[in-house]
Chain A
Amino acid sequence: EDDELSHDEL
């Protein structure tokens, strides 16, 4: 499942 992108920046 590649629906979510990981956002590691604020």
Chain B
Amino acid sequence: MNILRLAGDMTHLISVIVLLLKIHSIKSCAGISLKTQELYALVFVSRYLNIFTDFISLYNTIMKLIFLGTSFSIVWYMRYHKIVRRSYDKDQDTFRHYFLVLPCLILALLINERFTFKEIMWTFSLYLEAVAILPQLVLLQRTKNTDNLTVQYIFLLGAYRALYILNWIYRYFTEPDYLHWITWISGLVQTILYGDFFYYYFLSWKNNVKLQLPA
């Protein structure tokens, strides 16, 4: 495993920890989209169907368990925790996330590397992950006072994808037959969706003001 891939995984892990820390310590999920979190839980379930059948490494298995466990606990907190759920911006988080699921499933059935159940679910998870951030970005745009942790969480998620792209470039040049167009294109689409956010993130950082996306 190369350093870019490890950095990408760690950034992803830290993003989840930041979010859980926010929820757990200040008992608030204000500014966080439940729609996006539910999509991520679905992404991990459909991607990690191979968790008990294909052993890759201990690292791989543990990380999969962490991502599955944390994504479900975040959804649980936001839906059922008696204090946390009160801070959920339900009226603002109105993105029809179900409309993202079906097109991704159809696309996975049409464009995949192998027509097997596990492979289609894996491909579906890639397509879904690419667009799962959309409800969160919409909510961010609508929220007037976004707290710092929410902004850091989104930034870390975007950074994780950007690092994965660098990892793919590195692997393409160092490993023979390393060619994964579906993964690359969905990862690229996902990173592009963060483009706007990154632009305003750096502006707010440069000018030392709170980030607020223009409506």
Contacts and interface: CB of A to CB of B under 8 A. Distances in A.
B9 to A, nearest CB: 6
Interface in A1-10: 3-10
Contacts of B119: 4-5
Contact of B56 (A4, A5, A6): A6
Interface string B53-76: 010110010011001000000000
B60 A8 contact: yes
A5 B113 contact: yes
Contacts, number: 30
B183 A9 contact: yes
B9 A3 contact: no
A10 B54 contact: no
B5 interface: yes
Contacts of A7: 50, 54, 56, 122
B116 A10 contact: no
B63 A10 contact: yes
A7 to B, nearest CB: 6
B85 interface: no
A4 B64 contact: no
Given A7-B50, A10-B60, 20 more contacts: A3-B114, A4-B114, A4-B116, A4-B119, A5-B114, A5-B119, A6-B54, A6-B56, A7-B54, A7-B56, A7-B122, A8-B56, A8-B60, A9-B5, A9-B164, A9-B167, A10-B9, A10-B63, A10-B64, A10-B67
Interface of A: 3-10
29 contacts: A3-B114, A3-B116, A4-B54, A4-B114, A4-B116, A4-B119, A5-B113, A5-B114, A5-B119, A5-B122, A6-B54, A6-B56, A7-B50, A7-B54, A7-B56, A7-B122, A8-B56, A8-B57, A8-B60, A9-B5, A9-B164, A9-B167, A9-B183, A10-B9, A10-B12, A10-B60, A10-B63, A10-B64, A10-B67
